[in-house]
Structure 1
Amino acid sequence: MQSTVCLWGKRTFCFVSCSVPVLLSAMAAADLRDELSCSICLSIYTDPVMLPCGHNFCRGCIGKTWDTQEGLGAYSCPECRAEYQERPALPRNRTLGSIAARFCPTEPEPGETGIPCTYCVLSPVPAVKTCLHCEASLCDTHLRGHSQSEKHILIEPTMHLGDRKCSVHEELLKYYCCEDSVCICVSCCLAGGHRGHRVELLSEASEKKKEKLRKVLEKLSPEREETERGAQRLQERRREGAEAAAGETERVTALFRDIREELEALEKRLLSDISRQKEELSLTLTELIQQLEIKKDELSRKIRHIEELCNMADPLTVLQEQWESHGAAFCGAEGADTEGRERGGIKVPAVGDLDVGRISETLLTGLAGIVTGVKGRIYGQEATDLVLDINTAHNLVSVSGDRKSASYSLTELHYPQSPERFQLYAQALSSRSFPSGRHYWEVEGSESGDWWVGAAYPSMERGGLQSCIGYNNMSWCLRRGNNNRYSVRHYSKWTQLPHVPSCRRIRISLDYEAGRLSFYELSEPIRRLHTFTASFTEPLHAAFWVRGEGTWVRIIH
């Protein structure tokens, strides 16, 4: 194999066993490429324009360059630095554009052969490396015959070598100035503005920077993994939220469908009852009307007979009328008063005498049944029998006789000793626990004082600082303090709520399996104050805490 090196200007061509015509063709193609390349983008001209100084550039490239020079007082040519006070017009170089257009078809299409080999001019062959020293790209064949000298630096194929040269000396960037943090050439080191600065080879500076980047990577990688896990958790929460919303939508839709069906059934039952009462009343009135019609006909007949007698001129005929057959009629006519009508049994009842009370009672009972069923389906098993466990009450907690109220006592009550009794804080638990399911209970607190409500595990401490509800990981509470503000606490972490109390009634809703404990203010409209989320591991008891003279909390539902 024979290798020949030929110098052509600044460019060094390395080839393997090439014939002279091929060599000349390669050199000519490379030289033509230089002539047809824009010195700004280093690519074949696109819509070339000519400056007054005679240099050519792509219209877009020189336009962007001059855009950056706006306001500097002059526009300059990137080649010869000729300056123009006003931005020159850019006439199109049609001849150069035509030549560039004819040369472009010999270039490989993007995505087909990539960056072409500089020396394969007969047919485009993709380059595998670019030599910075030769300023040429090489295919596999020409790379095998390329010089192995250290000054021939090989990189991945590229057509943009301008960013690898010093903008001042037009020499390859080989060093890194540690003081100015820039890449420089040999001339910059020896006679340029970086003379006397601490410099390193690009490879050495690159390795040092890589080492720093690796340390940064060591810190960023766990952070990225944690961020990714956080994003996955949020996506899971979003999915769970969407599933919960879909399930809740289906549940509410079914609930209202059933409510409508029950209301329609109740409506039909009431309308049927009203219709039945109307028919019964109508039959009664019809029978009475018929009786009155008969009586009216009989009276009309008697009236006509009497009128005939009254109109007779013959006294003998009038006096000889059969008294026996009409005496009763005459007597009835002569004594026709209210008393006689009542003895005849003719009594007209009040019109429209429906049993409205029965209808209203049926309506109210039916609606109450529907509401009760709805509550049961919304909240699950109702805590209607929720009462306080007096064996847990602190000696400063006065429990009412029905065990529904807990109030603060100014004097100790000396309850019997019990291992369940709280020793340090004025609080108590409910006797009933909730090991599963969905439940709710409603409480009302005093207008003044400091009272807390919530839920707690039965294994919560009974003495010591950790025995206060909300001060440990076994209890959750809502506080309405003396400052007339809401706050919530769990595991000794207080969270101030933005809501200003508008009423003294609170609903505590528990969904054990879903791990949600929610607090609602029973204002108009009802509003949610806060929801705790947790994986409950023990049955939950309702918890109550009071402090201050006149402070009390009462279970109302």
Structure 2
Amino acid sequence: MASASFTDDLTCSICLTIFTDPVTLLCGHSFCRKCLICFWDTQHQCPQCRASLADACTSEDLCTNFVLLSLAEKAKQTDVIDKEHITAKAEVADMCPEHDEKLKLYCVTDQQLTCIICRDGERHEGHTFKPIKEASASLKRELEKRLDRIPGDIKTLERLFNTQAENLNATKDRSCQLGSQISAQFEELHQFLRKREEKLKNEVTRQQNVDVEQMTKMLNAIEAELSQSRALQAKAVSVLAISDPETFLKGWAKGNNVMLQGASRPKASDLSVVETSLSLGPYESHLKFFVWKEIFQVIEPREVQLTLKGEESQTNLSVDRRSVLHRTNFRSPTAVPRKPRYTASRNLSQREPQKNPPSWSYLERFTPWYHVFATSANVFTSGQHYWEIEVGQIGQTGFWEVGIQDHILTFDDGELFTDCPEGETLLTLQSIPRKIGIYLDLSSQKLSFYDSTNMAHIHTVSTKSSRATSMSAMLKMNYTTPNILPFTVCWY
């Protein structure tokens, strides 16, 4: 094609095509003869620069610009040649570049156009071929089928998008709600601590005022006695300085003997330094501990022990069925049923039972073992619940399980792991807890285990897959030392 600048110079600004019978006006601008005459029917000015022209103009008054006419003809010929060249290129593109044959086949395997010779070549050996029209129709039908599914996919994606957007907004709202809840609860603690701090400071100030008043009185009394003693001392020195006996005796008779009596009575023995009484008692050395104790009165805990039911005849419960007690006659060291042990990975998809896993684990022959298995008679149906179980020290308990029916935390053979319908998860801890705190949130369907000594989080599992018809606290334990193991549920 002709260059863009060359074509623009030979283009009529009225019809926007290459000049046909171009004419030039006195202002120097050129247009097609027919275009200019049609324009002059309404306006008598140059269509481009708006210069005023003659009031009347006919075709005979306009002279053809033969230079532009020649160039315009050449430009038209160039466009024709360019179009023919493009057509030739398209025809060449339809030819196989390797065999110079027309592309008549479509290789389904390689998804490309081929010629007949390509079909029989080694590179396409074993490939599937179709005629171009048949392949095109087949692909169009497949595309139409996929296109039919797209609206359904779009609706599904829109639904997912809307749901995700709602969850996103709900999460942000929930985050703000929880943040406000945390701030409100901490503000209560802050208010309590600020009030307690102010009260303790006021107590210190009160004691200081009492001590300062007493110390000031004593200081003034000591200062007065000190001044009198210094005056008496000075007077006594002046009297002793009298050398004439007659004069000395005359002064003595006039009252210096009273001074002697005053000097003979010691004043310092009647006065003593007032010691400070400033003290906060235990708040001085254990302030944080005692305030921590007082915080419990702010949160107002209510401990409600669960009612227990023994699952085995060996289980001994207290009279009020609130605690599990050791039996006087401990269980003799016989075979105790245990679950099959698995490899250390404890991954549901990878774990494999050991070959010939023992279905029974025999306890030490000469070690007395106590066995207990109990659940709570209380059933958890809604809300959040927390309870704690004393599991004892290592050596006292060789095996224990705590939690709910099918979501438990297990200690066995020195290992700590969770056992749920999804599988077992081996846990790594620096030390085995002596007391387990269990938090069940039925609204979010989560069960969390804590070391209740320092409230360190151990592990959290989901209870969505629980097959239990009802949820209650569970305890199963083998131990060597008699112990009392209370179930305690606390609401705060």
Is the CA contact 1:436–1:539 (under 8 Å) kept in the aligned structure 2? no
**Deviation per residue, 1:383-441 (Å, 9 max, x gap):** x52434243453333446894556698439xxxxxxxxxxxx95323465655544433
Structure 1 counterpart of 2:462, from 532, 540, 550: 532
Letter of the 1:275 partner, please give it.
T
Which residue is 1:118 aligned to? Answer: none
**Deviation of 1:334 (Å):** 3.2
Measured in 1, the distance between the counterparts of 2:430 and 2:205 equals 50
Structure 1 counterpart of 2:398, from 446, 449, 452: 449
Measured in 2, the distance between the counterparts of 1:200 and 1:528 equals 64
1:273 and 2:203 matched: yes
Structure 1 counterpart of 2:305, from 387, 411, 420: 387
Measured in 2, the distance between the counterparts of 1:395 and 1:230 equals 54
1:286 and 2:210 matched: no
Other structure's SS at 1:312 match: coil
Measured in 2, the distance between the counterparts of 1:454 and 1:482 equals 19
Cα 1:242–1:498 change in 2 (3 A) is farther
Letter of the 1:444 partner, please give it.
E
Other structure's SS at 1:510 match: strand
Moved more, 499-508 or 272-281: 499-508
Is the CA contact 1:176–1:202 (under 8 Å) kept in the aligned structure 2? yes
Is the CA contact 2:317–2:323 (under 8 Å) kept in the aligned structure 1? yes
Q: 1:16-95 alignment to 2 at 5 Å?
A: 32-35=82-85, 39=89
Measured in 1, the distance between the counterparts of 2:174 and 2:187 equals 20
**Deviation per residue, 1:348-374 (Å, 9 max, x gap):** 222x3312317537765444334664x
Which residue is 1:411 aligned to? Answer: 331
Identity of aligned residues (%): 20
Cα 1:196–1:228 change in 2 (3 A) is closer
Cα 1:250–1:372 change in 2 (3 A) is same
Q: 1:112-123 alignment to 2 at 5 Å?
A: none
Which residue is 1:500 aligned to? Answer: 429
Measured in 2, the distance between the counterparts of 1:317 and 1:272 equals 64
**Deviation per residue, 1:467-523 (Å, 9 max, x gap):** xx21xxxxx32222224122232xx44231343352313322233433332223458
Cα 1:550–1:36 change in 2 (3 A) is same
Q: TM-score, normalised by structure 1?
A: 0.50
Other structure's SS at 2:389 match: strand
**Deviation per residue, 1:52-104 (Å, 9 max, x gap):** xxxxxxxxxxxxxxxxxxxxxxxxxxxxxxxxxxxxxxxxxxxxxxxxxxxxx
Which residue is 1:310 aligned to? Answer: 240
Q: 1:210-225 alignment to 2 at 5 Å?
A: none
Letter of the 2:281 partner, please give it.
G
**Deviation per residue, 1:117-141 (Å, 9 max, x gap):** xxxxxxxxxxxxxxxxxx7xxxxxx
Measured in 2, the distance between the counterparts of 1:483 and 1:226 equals 50
Which residue is 1:56 aligned to? Answer: none
Other structure's SS at 1:497 match: strand
Cα 1:295–1:367 change in 2 (3 A) is same
Cα 1:178–1:510 change in 2 (3 A) is closer
**Deviation of 1:203 (Å):** 5.0
Is the CA contact 1:386–1:432 (under 8 Å) kept in the aligned structure 2? no
1:300 and 2:218 matched: no
Number of aligned residue pairs: 367
Which residue is 1:357 aligned to? Answer: 281
Cα 1:191–1:454 change in 2 (3 A) is closer
Letter of the 1:284 partner, please give it.
Q
Is the CA contact 2:380–2:472 (under 8 Å) kept in the aligned structure 1? yes
Letter of the 2:431 partner, please give it.
S
Letter of the 2:389 partner, please give it.
V
Measured in 1, the distance between the counterparts of 2:412 and 2:161 equals 38
Measured in 1, the distance between the counterparts of 2:101 and 2:81 equals 18
Which residue is 1:546 aligned to? Answer: 477
Letter of the 1:427 partner, please give it.
F
Other structure's SS at 1:441 match: strand
**Deviation of 1:199 (Å):** 6.5
Letter of the 2:216 partner, please give it.
T
Structure 2 counterpart of 1:369, from 294, 300, 322: 294
Other structure's SS at 2:386 match: strand
Cα 1:356–1:510 change in 2 (3 A) is same
**Deviation of 1:282 (Å):** 0.8
**Deviation of 1:211 (Å):** 7.8
Is the CA contact 1:503–1:523 (under 8 Å) kept in the aligned structure 2? no
**Deviation of 1:542 (Å):** 2.9
Q: 1:229-244 alignment to 2 at 5 Å?
A: 241-244=171-174
**Deviation of 1:329 (Å):** 5.2
Cα 1:322–1:512 change in 2 (3 A) is farther
Which residue is 1:481 aligned to? Answer: 412
Which residue is 2:38 aligned to? Answer: none
Cα 1:518–1:224 change in 2 (3 A) is farther
**Deviation of 1:272 (Å):** 2.4
Letter of the 1:411 partner, please give it.
R
Cα 1:359–1:440 change in 2 (3 A) is same
Which residue is 1:428 aligned to? Answer: 374
**Deviation of 1:316 (Å):** 4.4
Is the CA contact 1:497–1:529 (under 8 Å) kept in the aligned structure 2? no
Cα 1:478–1:271 change in 2 (3 A) is same
Is the CA contact 1:443–1:555 (under 8 Å) kept in the aligned structure 2? yes
Q: Which runs of 5+ in 2 are unaligned?
A: 1-74, 333-370
**Deviation of 1:451 (Å):** 1.4
Q: Which runs of 5+ in 1 are unaligned?
A: 1-24, 43-134, 136-160, 413-424, 456-468, 471-475
Is the CA contact 1:388–1:428 (under 8 Å) kept in the aligned structure 2? no
Is the CA contact 2:309–2:376 (under 8 Å) kept in the aligned structure 1? no
Letter of the 1:482 partner, please give it.
D
Q: TM-score, normalised by structure 2?
A: 0.56
Measured in 2, the distance between the counterparts of 1:196 and 1:313 equals 151
**Deviation of 1:27 (Å):** 11
Is the CA contact 1:485–1:501 (under 8 Å) kept in the aligned structure 2? no
Letter of the 1:280 partner, please give it.
V
**Deviation per residue, 1:254-312 (Å, 9 max, x gap):** 44455444433333332222222212111111111222223233333433443343233
Is the CA contact 1:435–1:538 (under 8 Å) kept in the aligned structure 2? no
Letter of the 2:307 partner, please give it.
D
Cα 1:441–1:292 change in 2 (3 A) is same
Cα 1:31–1:429 change in 2 (3 A) is same
Letter of the 1:347 partner, please give it.
S
